[in-house]
Amino acid sequence: MMCTKFLLFLMLILAFQAWEQKSPAEELLDQSIRYHDPKNNWPKFSDSLIINQEVPGKTMRNTRMFIDQKESLFSHAQYRNDTLFTRIVRNGECTYQMNQINLRIDKAEKLGLTCDRSKMLRNYYTFLYGLPMKLKDPGTILDPEVTHGTFNDQEVDILKVNYDPSVGKDTWYFYFSPENHALVGYRFYHDESKNDGEYILLNGEKVIGEIKIPARRTWYVNSDDRLLGTDFLQ
């Protein structure tokens, strides 16, 4: 009887350990997060990001953003010609300013400032500048295996990510340095069989809010390696 109870107890322990064991992909993601955000500051991140954006054939565009994770606040300020337009999303509610003066919603909409667009910008920038931490978000489907390959002529560890359909439909690949697990680039496809989508090279780092954020992002088309643009953290 004692032997049976002991074996049952042992089986429960082994089952619990197997359930708790992380996949290789989860281990790599945790290692990368420890590199970029060693003090777990992303959940309470509150700081400004100033981004210069270069697109071939266009003048440089400057964007100033403020992200406050705890207060659910996002602001996006950008000049159109000589006019400064600011979008603010706080707790899902949108407001607008023109040259730092509040705009009525109806006037903002006539100027092309919509809440849907403001929320899209919030989601876009907090995703890109919150990586790799954002890969912990609900709806992220992490392939359990880590693969190895090359990206931008360097050896990398690779994570494949899909999303719950309620979150997104693209397929993503994230590339990490085998030495320190830093995120060095990523690629996405709308339809991988068509080789559509884009890839992004990351270079340099800036420490903002005690988080190591890639300083330069260069965007290319998957199908023909055409340069789309470059974003620089100021």
pLDDT confidence of residue 11:
57
Is-cis flag, bond preceding 132, omega within 30?
yes
Q: 158: exposed, middle or buried (C-beta count within 10 Å: 0-12, 13-18, 19+)?
A: buried
pLDDT digits (tens, 9 = 90+) for 57-97: 999 999 999 999 999 999 999 998 899 999 999 999 999 99
Residue (of 170, 171, 176) closest to 150 by Cα position:
176
In the chain, domain spans:
24-42+137-234, 46-129
Query: In the prediction, which pLDDT does 21 show?
Result: 85
Distance CA 138, CA 225 (A): 32
Contact by Cβ (8 Å): 170, 147? no
Would you state the pLDDT for residue 5?
56
Query: What is the residue type of 233?
Result: L
User: In the chain, which residues have pLDDT < 50?
Assistant: 15-19
Please tell me the pTM assigned to this model: 0.88
Q: What does the pLDDT look like over 32-56, one tens digit per residue?
A: 999 999 999 999 999 999 999 999 9
pLDDT attached to residue 89 = 98
